[in-house]
């Protein structure tokens, strides 16, 4: 009988073909029609691989607020959730300058690393498990592919949280960290809008009658930035001031991006940002927003990473590492439920959201085998504490 790594190596040409097909269907999150087309291609490509292995080929299409999500239940209640997304950050037309090609062992194209190759690896790992271990090897596995991760999972959050709740483990097929490292910590994200409110007046005739919201906001920006502490970042980003060039601005606003490694830090920042006080007489402040995604804390990933580390040599990986990253994913949401979550199981490469986005092809069979081994190991073990709750 073949082993999982041998089977994954044999699948490599098909995996690359599948990845190219996914990449060539452009899927910017903001274009819901494009997301529908992408969902159709993902359903066809992944479904063909699952169906060939005797698994359910046709996914459930779940449409929430016009966004299409796909779910394959591969047998019984969910014990292991394989989680990914099919939307990308890339606008239409990117393929003209960044085509989906494999050159000298490198796959390129918009969304190749984040995260077409991860979706392909999930489907082939599932099919490989059936090939090697038989038809019952995936009892308890669900694949969920959402359509709005890149814009905050607004429509998919409840869906993915409901699917994860009660599972033993969530394995996230987002791109790996540097050198193929698995992501065992992700900072949580909080998003705020701080609005300074003043009083309008003619800037030439009687500016002294106004209360300049722009000046008030200028006082607030250093105070906002000073909330940062250690690894917690508090970054004023996009802003706007006033309405016309000859009017004392009655309103000025700035968006604030917060990244923190613990829920306690998110709470501290929330308390301090809401305690900001106006400086100018007659000015007021309005604070909107809050926690967007909780952190993925090491405690929720540590056991799964230990399992992966033990299995890695069988997958031909001798240097598996873990890392902490500032970016968030849907893994933050499942970890926020207390469900063991391991992220970064997708492609090895780099350039996510950048012009040099790429996947190193040589790693694809090994990552596919590692995913299959990890799924098999979890299903062969007693229920984890989170899943039993």
What's the pLDDT tens digit per position in 66-103?
999 999 999 889 999 999 999 999 999 999 999 999 99
Listed residue (370, 310, 311, 308) closest to 342, CA to CA: 308
| Domain co-membership, 136 together with 273 | no
How far is 63 from 281, CA to CA, in rounded Å?
50
Pair (85, 164) in one structural domain: yes
For position 113, which CATH number holds? 3.40.630.10
Assign 383 a pLDDT band (cuts: 50, 70, 90). confident
Q: What are phi and psi of 376, to 5 degrees?
A: -60, -40
Q: According to the model, what pLDDT value does residue 384 have?
A: 58
Q: How far apart are CA 52 and CA 127, in angstroms?
A: 8
Residue 29 is predicted with a pLDDT of 98
**With contact defined as beta carbons under 8 Å apart, do 354 and 98 qualify?**
no
For residue 383, what is the DSSP state?
P
Domain finish residue from 293, 316, 336:
293
* Co-location of 147 and 166 in the same domain: yes
Rounded alpha-carbon distances, angstroms, from residue 3 to 8, 132, 316, 359, 370: 9, 6, 12, 24, 12
Which tokens is 41 given? 């291609």
- Give the DSSP H or E segment for 162: helix 157-164
From 293, 321, 343, the end of a domain falls on: 293
Query: Tens of pLDDT along 284-322?
Result: 999 999 999 999 999 999 999 999 999 999 999 999 999
Q: Beta strand pairing status for 322-325 and 182-186? A: parallel
> Which of 259, 11, 274 has the alpha carbon at shortest distance from 126?
11
Which domain-ending residue is among 263, 293, 323?
293
Give the pLDDT confidence score for residue 386 in this predicted structure: 45
Residue spans of beta strands (DSSP E) within the chain: 60-64, 67-73, 80-85, 101-103, 106-108, 141-146, 169-172, 182-186, 188-197, 201-202, 233-241, 247-248, 251-260, 284-293, 322-325, 341-342, 349-350, 358-360
Same domain, 342 and 288: no
User: Which CATH number goes with the domain that contains 212?
Assistant: 3.30.70.360
In the predicted structure, residue 387 carries a pLDDT above the cut 60: no
Whether residue 329 is found in the same domain as residue 366: yes
Give me the pLDDT at residue 388, please.
Answer: 40
Query: Averaged over 321-340, what is the pLDDT?
Result: 96
244-253 average pLDDT score: 98
Q: Could you give the percent of the chain with pLDDT greater than 70?
A: 98
Both 128 and 244 in one domain: the answer is: no
- The total number of structural domains in the chain stands at 2
For residue 1, is pLDDT > 50? no
Does 125 share its domain with 238? no
Residues 201 and 70 in one domain: no
Residue 312 sits in the same domain as residue 276: no
Which pLDDT belongs to residue 162? 97
Structure tokens at 28: 């910017």
The verdict on 264 and 319 lying in the same domain is no
Token representation of residue 302: 């540590």
Is residue 166 located within the same domain as residue 36? yes
Note down the domain range covering 225: 189-293
Query: Across the chain, what does the average pLDDT equal?
Result: 96
**365 and 245 in one domain?**
no
Q: At what angle do helices 32-52 and 4-23 cross, to 10 degrees?
A: 150
Share of the chain above pLDDT 90, in %: 96
């Amino acid at each position: 009988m073949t082993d999982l790594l041998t089977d994954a190596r044999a699948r490599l040409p098909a995996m690359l073909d599948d990845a190219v097909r996914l990449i060539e269907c452009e899927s910017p999150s903001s274009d819901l029609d494009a997301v529908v087309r992408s969902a159709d291609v993902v359903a066809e490509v992944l479904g063909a691989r699952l169906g060939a292995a005797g698994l359910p080929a046709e996914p459930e299409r779940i449409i929430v607020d016009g966004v299409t999500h796909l779910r394959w239940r591969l047998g019984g209640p969910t014990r292991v959730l394989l989680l990914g997304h099919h939307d990308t950050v890339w606008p239409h037309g990117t393929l003209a300058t960044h085509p989906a090609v494999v050159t000298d062992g490198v796959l390129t194209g918009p969304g190749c690393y984040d995260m077409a190759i991860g979706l392909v690896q999930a489907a082939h790992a599932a099919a490989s498990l059936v090939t090697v271990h038989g038809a019952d090897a995936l009892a308890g596995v669900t694949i969920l592919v959402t359509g709005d991760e890149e814009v905050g999972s607004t429509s998919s959050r409840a869906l993915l949280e409901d699917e994860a709740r009660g599972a033993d483990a969530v394995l996230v097929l987002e791109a790996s960290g540097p050198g193929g490292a698995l992501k065992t910590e992700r900072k949580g994200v909080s998003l705020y809008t701080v609005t300074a409110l003043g009083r309008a007046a003619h800037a030439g005739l009687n500016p002294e009658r106004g209360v300049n919201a722009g000046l008030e906001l200028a006082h607030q920006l250093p105070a906002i930035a000073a909330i940062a502490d250690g690894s917690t970042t508090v970054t004023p980003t996009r802003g706007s001031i006033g309405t016309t060039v000859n009017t004392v601005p009655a309103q000025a606003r700035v968006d604030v991006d917060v990244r923190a490694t613990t829920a306690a830090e998110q709470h501290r920042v929330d308390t301090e940002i809401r305690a900001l006080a106006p400086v100018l007489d007659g000015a007021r402040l309005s604070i909107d927003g809050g926690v967007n995604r909780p952190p993925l804390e090491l405690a929720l990933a540590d056991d799964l990473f230990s399992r992966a580390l033990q299995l890695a040599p069988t997958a031909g990986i001798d240097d598996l590492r873990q890392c902490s990253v500032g970016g968030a994913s849907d893994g933050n949401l499942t970890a926020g439920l207390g469900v063991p979550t391991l992220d970064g199981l997708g492609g090895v490469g780099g350039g996510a959201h950048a012009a040099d986005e790429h996947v190193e092809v040589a790693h694809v069979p090994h990552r596919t085998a590692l995913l299959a081994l990890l799924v098999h190991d979890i299903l062969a073990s007693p229920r984890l504490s989170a899943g039993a709750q």
